Amino acid sequence: MSKRNIWLSILAFVLLALAIVVWLMRRHDEVKYKEVLVLGHAGSGFLSPLNPFNPLPSNSMASIVKAMEENGADGVEVDVQLSQDGVLILYHDVTLESMTEAEGIIDNLPAAGVVGLKYKGGFFYDLFHDEEIITLEVLLQRFATYPELPYLHLDLRNQNPSRHLYYAQTLMALLRKYAYPLERTVFISPNPAFLKAFREVEPQAQLMIDTAGDFEQALVEAQNNQLNGICANGRDVSPQQVQQAKAQGLQVALFGGKSRSRIARMINMRPDAIQVDNVAAARDLLE
């Protein structure tokens, strides 16, 4: 066989393989439900090598802007931590060393030692971004320029239970400063005591419990504490569980989802909102 025929055979094989991959990715992407809010999960999601390629760190400004201004999300979910001196900072992980060259937890550090730290996702990812840790206030300032304020799901991160009330007071004061509407804001935590601190500060706050992998227990906690909803990983729940929660008058938000098939599955479970790592795919499915 000539070299030309060998290369043509290889090319044909590669194209066939790509066609199969695309078919596998799209074969379960039909959606039968459209009434769902699409939120960027920590902005545009987390560092990912493919489907989709995403070099933007979670909660970074570029990640959030991409979800909102490029891909048309209805809003975003962000992770909020409180510095030692009372500044609300966007960061996902417990420790700074996971994504920066600094060490420690934000609760124990002044904001000046955290805000502006460069994200480090590894050599390959860092070729594509120059992002740094930002405050929640910087994000609210950006949103204040929009013609309509986005939906905002706030994943509450606090390692010190003695500061639950102080955290709630600080966060609510900032949202009031920017006149952020309560009907577009949801507060999420796996800790009912933390959520109750928000109810003490703002009785009308929409409170959602994160299932932390145990949907049935979260249902019990939501009922016992008169919470407004449940947030769960879309990979870990069934359509029946989602409908069980909604039948009890609870809102349901599902998070995760990079591939079209996974996102379609989440949408077809009929939640009120999805927090997805691939906003573009979710938007395309819902058109």
CATH of the domain at 139: 3.20.20.190
* pLDDT tens profile 46-66: 999 988 999 999 999 999 999
pLDDT band at 84 (very low <50, low <70, confident <90, very high): very high
Same domain, 48 and 109: yes
Does the pLDDT at position 20 exceed 70? no
Domain count within the chain: 2
Higher model confidence: residue 191 or residue 27? 191
Same domain, 20 and 123: no
Model pTM above 0.85: yes
Tokens of 103: 């060490």
C-alpha distance from residue 72 to each of 29, 31, 40, 131 (Å):
19, 18, 9, 21
Same domain, 156 and 193: yes
Same domain, 2 and 38: no
pLDDT band at 12 (very low <50, low <70, confident <90, very high): confident
Average pLDDT over residues 213-232: 97
Average pLDDT over residues 93-108: 97
Does the pLDDT at position 23 exceed 70? no
Average pLDDT over residues 18-29: 61
Same domain, 19 and 159: no
Does the pLDDT at position 17 exceed 60? yes
What CA–CA distance (Å, rounded) separates 88 from 137? 7
* pLDDT tens profile 113-160: 999 999 999 999 999 999 999 999 999 999 999 999 999 999 999 999
Same domain, 13 and 91: no
The reported pLDDT for the residue numbered 24 is 56
Average pLDDT over residues 203-224: 97
Which DSSP letter does residue 162 get?
Answer: G
Contact 266, 287 (CB under 8 A): no
Same domain, 15 and 40: no
What CA–CA distance (Å, rounded) separates 153 from 109? 25
Taking the CA atoms of 250, 44, 145 and 199 in sequence, report the sign of the dihedral they define: positive
Same domain, 20 and 137: no
C-alpha distance from residue 266 to each of 162, 201, 250, 275 (Å):
36, 33, 17, 10
pLDDT band at 16 (very low <50, low <70, confident <90, very high): confident
The overall average pLDDT reported for the chain is: 94
Same domain, 83 and 184: yes
**Residue 162: domain span:** 31-286
Q: Tally the C-alpha atoms within 13 A of residue 137's C-alpha that lie toward its C-beta.
A: 13
The reported pLDDT for the residue numbered 1 is 57
The reported pLDDT for the residue numbered 3 is 66
Average pLDDT over residues 220-238: 97
Tokens of 24: 């596998």
The reported pLDDT for the residue numbered 13 is 80
The reported pLDDT for the residue numbered 6 is 72
Same domain, 108 and 190: yes
* pLDDT tens profile 165-207: 999 999 999 999 999 999 999 999 999 999 999 999 999 999 9
